[in-house]
Structure formats: C-alpha cells, structure tokens
C-alpha cells in the first residue's frame, strides 16, 4: 500500500484545505498520515491518521529543531512512501529532519516569504526557503513570480504547481445551497436590513492581510453612504497583534468572530474586500468568487493571477482612498451575478488540485 505523510503546521489549515485531499487519496487506495500541531485544536473524526507534532508558527530555532526531530522519529515509525510538506515552515521542518532511506521528500510553498520581504528579513527568508528546496527531492510554488525569484541553481529542484493553489470546494461554496429565506434570516440576526449593501472581510485581522486598510476605507465610505454594512469574519492573531476597538460598537460593522464555515456569511454579502499584501493563491478570494461575489483586492501574486480568470476581481492600489473609491464604484453597479460563474467555479474546483497533487506524487 502507498503511504503518504502530509506535514502541515496548523491543524486548521489541514482541516480547511487538505482534509478533502486526504479522503480522496484514501479512496484511491493510499494510507494517509498527517503531522500537524494539534495543541488546542478541536479535532474531528478523520480518515487520515493524525500525529501531534509541535510545529511552531514563528521562527524559534529550538522549537523548529525539536519539531524536526519529532518528525524524523515519526517518519521512521510509519515508513511512508513519501512525505509532502506544506507552507514555508512545514518545508523547513522537513528539510531539517534526518533523511530516511527509501522515502521521497516533497514540499509545496503556498506563497514564498522572501520575495515579499525586504532588508535583512528578505535575505534570511531567502536563505531558509532555498535551503529547504535543496534539501528536498522536489518542491512546488504556485506562481511564476515565485519561481522566477528563486536562483537558477535552486530552480532545478522546483516546479510550478498546476492550477490555482488549494482551489475551492465548489460543492460547499455554492450560492444555490442558500435560499432567500436563509439569507434574510441571517441578515436579520446580524442587523443587516434586506436590500442594503454588505461588504465582507474574511481572514485574520492583521496588518498584512489589510484589515486596518479595509476598515478605514469602509469608514470613509460611510461618510457618503449610510445604507452600507461591513461584515467581519475572523479574529485577531496573537502572533501579529493589532490594537482594535470593539468592532461591533462601530456604525455599520458586524463582527462575528472566527467561523469554521464562512459560506453562509458570503451568501448574504454583495462583495468582498481583501487587500492582503502577501498571498500565495488566496483561497478565501476563490471561495467568494465561486459564490458569485465581486472582490476588491490588490495586485499581489495570487490575486494578480486570479484576475486573469475573471473581471469579478477588481485590483486597486493598496491604500485607503483607492479602496474607498472601489467600494463606491461597486455600489454604482447594478447587482447581478457573474455571467460566467459556472466557468469560474469549474476553474477553481478543488478536484483539479487533487489531480495535480496525485500527478506530483509520481513525478
């Protein structure tokens, strides 16, 4: 039996993006194991075998070395056919782990860090990420920009993944799943009147995700329009703290906290704003587009690539006035669904990601 070990730093990332892949591979006859940080996680039943490895989110060298040693022990114990790590820190932990004979070591960067960094941080991230590529048998990036940023000598062990990152679970993020009655009920619970425009932000409330910019732009908009609302789905990140007021005390703002399933909130919204500065291939944007929403983003790697697929994604400069103007422009347009929604949904289907990974397992 083919045996795969998936390495992913955060259990929530596995649950949101890779659990479906694990189930699909099990159906294809694979035995799937997952090494992830289960500390404090609400772990659900799973077809994969879950293993608690304390992979750190930050760049703590001692914690990284401890995690890599634990990973080495796990690999020797379960003897996988191959190991596939995700995200920069996952690849680094795998790169630091001892090589076990007969096991292939693979990795996928869901957006490299060094091309988006500057100064000393850029060189440190570049050193770490290039080291990870050289230590593994094969690695993938999501965009041509990341591929081009890597030195030629390192690029020999790097490829561009087919498709659009993790893609989107289009069966779940399907606007036809939600009735008008469902939408009206949720809007009523949140205090958003029927007929009034709702913008939505989904993600961690951090500066690099652009939340402060989106919030300020909405407040500028509110000086001109009172029939608008800002639905915030997400929580602050202790690793990237922001000083935020009680958002629900702000006029027109509805903060619901972190939700495992943002689909019902996308269903009652008219447009998403997501001015992130460093994304690989933003899943939340693909989810919003698959639900038929307009999206306001910035010309970062992944968003720029998604823009080629659909005019429903509007890219603007990453500053408050440009975002506020984009809000106003969208409000002037008639509310109508995307004329090519079915094509967009097919392009972003997570099934394409499954097949891309399956091919990669046999490169």
pLDDT tens per residue, range 280-289: 899 999 999 9
Query: Do residue 150 and residue 184 come from a single domain?
Result: no
Smallest Cα–Cα separation from 208: which of 305, 314, 282?
Answer: 282
Joined together, the tokens standing for residue 273 give 């704003």
pLDDT band at 360 (very low <50, low <70, confident <90, very high): confident
Total domain count for the chain?
2
Q: Give the list of residues 6+ apart from residue 121 with CB closer than 8 angstroms, or none.
A: none
Q: Which residue has the tokens 């972003």?
A: 348
Q: CA 115 to CA 75: how far, in whole Å?
A: 31
> What pLDDT is attached to residue 221?
95
Last residue of some domain: 161, 194, 227?
A: 161
Residues β-bridged to residue 202: 233
Per-residue pLDDT at 348 exceeds 90: yes
Work out the pLDDT band at 103, boundaries 50, 70, 90: very high
Determine the Cα angle at 218 with ends 214 and 221, to 5°. 145
Using pLDDT thresholds of 50, 70 and 90, give the confidence band for residue 361. Answer: confident
Token code pair at residue 190? 């949140």
Per residue in 172-223, pLDDT (tens digit) is 999 999 999 999 999 999 999 999 999 999 999 999 999 999 999 999 999 9
183 shares its domain with 101:
no
Residues 159 and 234: their CA atoms lie apart, in Å, by: 33
* Exposure of 1 in the CB half-sphere (CA atoms within 13 A): 13
The torsion of the CA quartet 171, 174, 180, 185, rounded to 10 degrees, works out to: 80
Question: Three-state SS for 294?
Answer: strand
Place of tokens 């079915």: 342
What local confidence, expressed as pLDDT, does residue 267 receive? 97
**CATH for 121:** 3.40.50.2000
What are 33's two structure tokens?
A: 């194991």
Confidence of residue 359 (pLDDT cuts 50, 70, 90): confident
| 71 neighbors 94 (Cβ within 8 angstroms) | yes
Separation CA 105–CA 72 (nearest Å):
12
Rounded mean pLDDT of 239-257? 93
CA 7 – CA 96 distance, rounded (Å): 13
Helix axes 350-360, 19-27, angle to 10 degrees: 60
**pLDDT for residue 27 is more than 80:** yes
**201 shares a domain with 321:** yes
Q: Summarize the confidence of residues 116-141 as an average pLDDT.
A: 95
Where does a domain end: 111, 135, 161? 161
**Average pLDDT estimate for 108-126:** 93
- Residues spanned by the domain of 342: 175-348
Residue 241 in this model has a pLDDT that exceeds 90? no
Residues 302 and 249 in one domain: yes
- The bridge status of strand 138-141 relative to strand 228-233 is unpaired
Query: Confidence class of residue 337 from pLDDT cuts 50, 70 and 90?
Result: low
Which residue shows structure tokens 């596939």?
84
CA distance 2 to 28: 10
User: What percent of the chain shows pLDDT beyond 70?
Assistant: 98
The whole-number average pLDDT for the span 304-329 is 93
Instruction: Indicate if the pLDDT at residue 39 is higher than 60.
Output: yes
Domain boundary among 101, 136, 161: 161
- Nearest Cα residue to 4 out of 98, 75, 100: 75
Tell me what pLDDT residue 57 has.
81
- pLDDT score of 338: 62
8 A C-beta contact, residue 344 and residue 338: yes
Whether residue 51 is contained in a domain is answered as yes
| CA pair distance 86, 83, nearest whole angstrom | 10
Are residues 212 and 343 both part of a single domain? yes
Locate the DSSP E strands across 109-188.
138-141, 158-160
**The residue to which tokens 């933003």 are assigned:** 282
Q: Is the pLDDT of residue 336 over 60?
A: no
Query: Do 184 and 213 sit in the same domain of this protein?
Result: yes
Same domain, 330 and 230: yes
pTM of the model: 0.91
Mean pLDDT of 104-108: 96
* Average pLDDT of span 230-245: 92
Choose among 357, 210, 217: nearest CA to 282: 210
Residue 59 above 80 pLDDT? no
The predicted model gives 74-95 an average pLDDT of 97
Same domain for 86 and 19, yes or no, is yes
**189 and 281 co-located in one domain:** yes
């Amino acid at each position: 039996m083919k045996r795969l070990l998936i390495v992913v730093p955060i259990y929530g990332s596995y649950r949101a993006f890779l659990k479906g892949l694990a189930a699909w591979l099990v159906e294809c006859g694979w035995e799937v194991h997952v090494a992830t940080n289960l500390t404090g996680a609400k772990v659900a039943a799973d077809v994969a075998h879950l293993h608690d490895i304390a992979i750190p989110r930050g760049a703590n060298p001692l914690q990284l070395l401890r995690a890599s040693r634990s990973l080495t022990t796990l690999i020797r114990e379960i003897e996988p056919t191959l190991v596939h790590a995700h995200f920069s820190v996952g690849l680094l932990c795998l790169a630091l782990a001892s090589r076990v004979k007969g096991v292939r070591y693979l990795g996928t960067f869901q957006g490299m860090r060094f091309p988006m960094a500057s100064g000393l941080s850029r060189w440190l991230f570049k050193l770490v990420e290039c080291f990870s590529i050289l230590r593994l048998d094969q690695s993938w990036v999501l965009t041509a920009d990341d591929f081009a940023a890597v030195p030629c000598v390192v690029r020999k062990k790097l490829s561009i993944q087919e498709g659009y990152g993790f893609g989107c679970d289009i069966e779940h993020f399907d606007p036809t799943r939600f009735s008008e009655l469902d939408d009206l009920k949720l809007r009523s619970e949140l205090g958003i009147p029927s007929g009034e425009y709702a913008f939505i932000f989904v993600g961690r409330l951090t500066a690099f995700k652009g939340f402060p910019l989106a919030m300020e732009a909405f407040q500028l908009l509110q000086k001109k329009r009172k029939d608008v609302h800002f639905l915030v789905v997400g929580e602050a990140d202790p690793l990237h703290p922001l000083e935020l007021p009680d958002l629900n005390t702000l006029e027109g703002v509805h903060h619901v906290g972190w939700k495992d399933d943002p689909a019902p909130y996308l269903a009652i919204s008219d447009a998403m704003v997501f001015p992130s500065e460093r994304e690989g291939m933003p899943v939340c944007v693909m989810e919003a587009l698959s639900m038929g929403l307009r999206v306001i983003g910035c010309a970062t790697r992944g968003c720029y690539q998604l823009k080629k697929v659909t005019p429903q994604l509007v890219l603007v400069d990453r500053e408050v006035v440009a975002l506020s103007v984009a809000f106003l422009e969208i409000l002037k347009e008639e509310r109508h669904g995307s004329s090519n929604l079915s094509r967009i949904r097919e392009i972003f289907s997570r099934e394409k990601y499954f097949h891309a990974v399956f091919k990669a397992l046999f490169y």
